[in-house]
Each structure stands twice: as C-alpha cells, then as structure tokens.
Structure 1
Amino acid sequence: MNNSRKVAGVAGIVSVLWVGVTAAIAASQRRLVFNPTVKREVDNPRSSGHRTRAIVLRARDGTKLSGWLMTPQIPGPHPAVVYFGGRSEEVSWVVRDAGKLFPGMAVLAVNYRGYGNSHGEPAEAHMVEDGRLLFDWLAERPHVDPQRVAVVGRSLGSGVAVQVALERPAHSLVLITPYDSILAIAKRKFRAVPVEYVLRHRFESVKYASSLTAPTYVLRAAFDDIVPHSHTDLLVAQLGKLHLDETVPDSDHMNIPYLEATQERIAAFLSTRFAQPIGDIPLATALPAQAVSAGKTL
C-alpha cells in the first residue's frame, strides 16, 4: 500500500510538472518563436548600388511598418525583391549589402512588427498578411516590373516567403536555411510536450511546398544547429519547382547571409532568372536528381 501511494505521489508530481511545462510553453510561445530586435544593425544604412529611401507603410489594421526601399540608379522598370528576415534579425544590414546581393534590382526590406522601428507585436498571421501587402506595394511602384518580383526569406522568414509566394505571383523564390515547419522543430526540441496543441505560430512551409510555382533556390548552412538539415530535406522533397539546393561552405546558421559566397550565389541566381524571357522557366540546369535532392555543394 505504501509503495502504491509513493508511485501515485510521484505520478502526480510528474503530471503537475508536465502540465506546468506545457502551460509555460503555451504562455511564452511568442518569445520562443520570435526574438524582436529593436536596435539597428547598421546605424545609417545606405546601398552603394541603389538610391536608398527610408519608408513607413501601414498594415491593413493601421500598424506602422518601417524599413527601406532601394532602387537602381538607372531608369526602370526593374526586377525587384521583397526580403523577409530571421527570428532575431533587424533588416538594416540588407540595405548595406544590397549592392552585392541584389544588383540592378529594386529591393524592399521592412522590419516585422516589433522589430526595428516597426510597431505592434509579431505573429505568423500578421507576418504573412503584411508580407502580401509588401509584395503588392512593391509590384505597384512605377519603376518596378510587376512580372519580375522575387521573394527572399531567411530562416524564420523562409516560412513567410513560402506563404507569400504561394498567394502572390512571385517570379522566383530564394530560401536561406529553410525548414519544414516550426511546429516540427518545436516537437523535436520538446519531445515530452504536446506542442501541437499549444503552438499557434507553426509556419508549416511543408504543407504549401508542392503548390509553389516559382523556381526555388535553397541555400543551406554547412553547420546548422538551429535548422538541422533533416528539416530542410523534408521541405526540399516537397518543393514544386526546385531549381537548386546548395550548401554554402564554411557557413553556419548565423553568418550565412553575410558571407560573400552566399551573396554571390543569390545575386547570380536572381540575375540569371530575371534575364529569362517571362514564362520561360528552365529546368534545374540538368543537375542529377540525386545531387539536387541531397543538398550537395555544387
């Protein structure tokens, strides 16, 4: 009887702890998924290859969104890029590096709600809705070719980019260290917790991947302890228009977008894609299927 009571007591304590951990994850999930960075990464961002203009746009609910619009020096219309950053990323660095990353392209980089000078609080639904608005706003600029607007997303932002590209006529799609879903990564991290019942911000890119029509370029970090390659593999296997899947040498999850090798790859992919006649979508440059699907360095 005493042993039974002890077992029951231990089980009760474990149950309380389990419920407590689950409740804590539910209550703090916004902090777990997002890490709003207010301080600018670059104090006075300017692009050496563009005219740079700070902008403030209003989301559909009136929330102020702050960022930068960069336009090439020569007259348009130009191909264009909408950029979506990572979990902890303030996007002023994109302005500084736009000349190398996006030569000859108009670029829109706006901070998520709660990041930089943008107001409000981050949430998946807001990020996607705001992303669609940013795409539409950029495509409507008189100096932009609306048929050549690409979407680029890094890490957490890859989930935003996928959903925007699904619902808007994205010309091309670049995903930097993308994942199958934040839900899947959370379940891997909190194995004993029923995360699927409490996580609201799921970013389930794998659900939309097969429906994407834009040629998609995937860039992985050589060493990534934030998004394991297995989670990228699951996404890549479902992509509707995989163009190329590369691993950037000597990169990790944090430094990959700043590396010259990464920036040259993105610039080359987008420049080549934008140079194609509209409607001409070449295959993955005759790469062996196993090289593309395995995420090998090319």
Structure 2
Amino acid sequence: MKHTKKVAGVAGILSVLWIGLTAAVAASQNRLLFNPLGSRREVLKPYSAGHRTRAVVIRAKDGTRLSGWLMTPRLAGPHPGVVYFGGRSEEVSWVARDAGQLFPGMTVLAVNYRGYGDSHGDPAEIHFVEDGRMLYDWLANRRDVDPQRMAVVGRSLGSGVAVQVAIDREPCSVVLITPYDSILAIAKRKFRTLPVEYVLRHKFESVKYAEKINAPVYVLRSEHDDIVPHSHTDLLVQKLGTLQADEIVPGSNHINIPYLPETQERIAYFLTDRFYPQPVLPV
C-alpha cells in the first residue's frame, strides 16, 4: 500500500510538472518562435551601392505601420521585383546593404515583420502572411516594376511566409533559404513529450502548401544546421513539384548563410537567369 501511494505521489508530481511545462511553452511561444526583441537595427545607415535606397513605411490592411527599405536600380525600369521575408529575430536592414550583390538590377522590398525593428504590432503567422501578400501587391503595382517578373525570397522562418505568399500571388521565382517542412514538426522534435500540436498557435506548415507552388523553386541549405535539420528540409523538398535546385552552401551555418558571398552569388545568378532568360537560338 505504501509503495502504491509512493508511486501515485510521484506520478502526481510528474503530471503537475508536465502540465506546468506545457503551460510554460504555450505562454512563451511568441518569444521562443519570434523573439522580436532581439531584432535591433543591424545596419545603422542601410545603403545599397547598386540601388537607390530609401526607408519606407507601409500601412497593413488593419492600419499597422510596417517599416523597411525599398531599393530601386539606378537605370530606368520597369525592373523585376523581389520581396524578402526574414528569419526569426532578423532585422532586415542588412538586405539594403547587400542588395547590390544579392539582387542586381532588381527592385527590392525588405520590410520588418510586426514587432521587429521599427514596425509596430505583434508578431503572428496570420499577420505575417497577410502582410506578405499586401507587400507583394504593393511592389507589383509600382510603375517601375514588371509584375510578370516577381520573386519571393524567404529565409528560415520567412520561408514559411514566402511559401504561403507564393501560392496566392504566383511569382515567377521562389528562393527558400534553410526552409523547413513545418514549425510544428520542429517543435514536436524539440519538445517530444509535450502536446505541442494543441498549444502551438503559429504552425507555419509549409509542407501542406508546397505542392500548390507553380513557380520554379530554388532551395539553399546550410552545411551545418542545428536549427533546421536537413531531414526537415527533405520533407519539404519532396513535396515541391517545381523544384529547380536544392544546394548546400559550403562552410555555411544557419546564422551566416545569407551573408556569405557564395550564397549571394548563387541567388543573384538564379534570379537573373529567371528574370532575363536567354533566347533559344534556331538549330
């Protein structure tokens, strides 16, 4: 009897701890997933040597102020357009600095998510995707942008935004940097004993949308990735019917991959090839 009571007591304590841990994960999921407080201005005076660079404030449909940068080529347009979606904790001013190498000859819009940088509001998957569609339309409707030559580029967390925007707006190219099958799957891997599927509000289930993408997709992985294991990228890639290339950038990790010259050269080459296809010569 004493043994039974002891076992029951231990089971009760473990249950309380399990419930407490589950509640803690549920309550802190915004910080764990987004961590916008860590997104301080990365570049104090963003400027692209290959573009005219200006700060922009764009209102979301609900009036929320979103802040970022618009980079336009110095030559007269219309030009191809690129919308960039950043990763967790990422403040996107660095894109303005590196746009000349990443997006030569392209008009680029890089805007911080809600709660990131100087953008107002609170981060949430539904807001990121809705704002992403709005930003895509905002850029595509500019006179100096060719709406038939648009691309979305998403890094890490932002790959989930790019995927959902791509199925609704039909860009001509999609670039995904260290993408995943779903944030839910990664969370379940990290918190194996917790019912995260019931408490996670922002699931970013890219794998459910991948088959609906009609544009060519270029996937870039980091060589050493302890944030998005390659197995989670594999599951997404298997669903991409329009996959053009799936490459690993040597010497890269999850954090440094977008800043590396080789990464930037590969993205610039892929998009340039898509935006300015070479004519087929007669045989």
Deviation, 1:53, is 1.1
Q: Which runs of 5+ in 2 are unaligned?
A: none
User: Contact 2:81–2:149 (CA<8 Å) still a contact in 1?
Assistant: yes
Structure 2 residue aligned with 1:286:
none
User: Contact 2:88–2:157 (CA<8 Å) still a contact in 1?
Assistant: yes
* 2:91 matches 1:86: no
Q: Secondary structure at the match of 1:222?
A: strand
- State the one-letter code of the partner of 1:205: S
1:15-164 aligned at under 5 Å gives the runs 15-36=15-36, 37-164=38-165
Alpha-carbon distance in 1 for matches of 2:188, 2:170: 32
Q: Secondary structure at the match of 1:251?
A: strand
Alpha-carbon distance in 1 for matches of 2:199, 2:47: 42
Structure 1 residue aligned with 2:173:
172
* 2:241 matches 1:240: yes
Deviation, 1:269, is 0.1
* 2:4 matches 1:4: yes
Alpha-carbon distance in 2 for matches of 1:226, 1:33: 12
Alpha-carbon distance in 1 for matches of 2:106, 2:81: 5
Alpha-carbon distance in 2 for matches of 1:137, 1:276: 25
Alpha-carbon distance in 2 for matches of 1:132, 1:217: 20
Q: Secondary structure at the match of 1:93?
A: helix
- State the one-letter code of the partner of 1:2: K
- State the one-letter code of the partner of 1:102: F
Length, aligned pairs only = 279
Alpha-carbon distance in 2 for matches of 1:39, 1:270: 29
Structure 2 residue aligned with 1:256:
257
User: Contact 1:38–1:117 (CA<8 Å) still a contact in 2?
Assistant: no
Q: Secondary structure at the match of 1:61?
A: coil
Q: Deviations over 1:181-217 (max 9, x none)?
A: 0000000000000000000100000000011101000
User: Contact 1:151–1:170 (CA<8 Å) still a contact in 2?
Assistant: yes
Give the aligned CA root-mean-square deviation in angstroms: 1.2
Q: TM-score, normalised by structure 1?
A: 0.92
Q: Deviations over 1:205-245 (max 9, x none)?
A: 00000111010000000000000000000000001200000
Q: Mark the CA change 1:277 to 1:149 in structure 2 (over 3 Å): closer, same or farther.
A: farther
Structure 1 outlier segments of 4+, above 6 Å: none
Q: Secondary structure at the match of 2:193?
A: coil
Q: Secondary structure at the match of 1:108?
A: strand
Q: Which runs of 5+ in 1 are unaligned?
A: 281-298
Deviation, 1:169, is 1.7
1:198-209 aligned at under 5 Å gives the runs 198-209=199-210
1:210-221 aligned at under 5 Å gives the runs 210-221=211-222
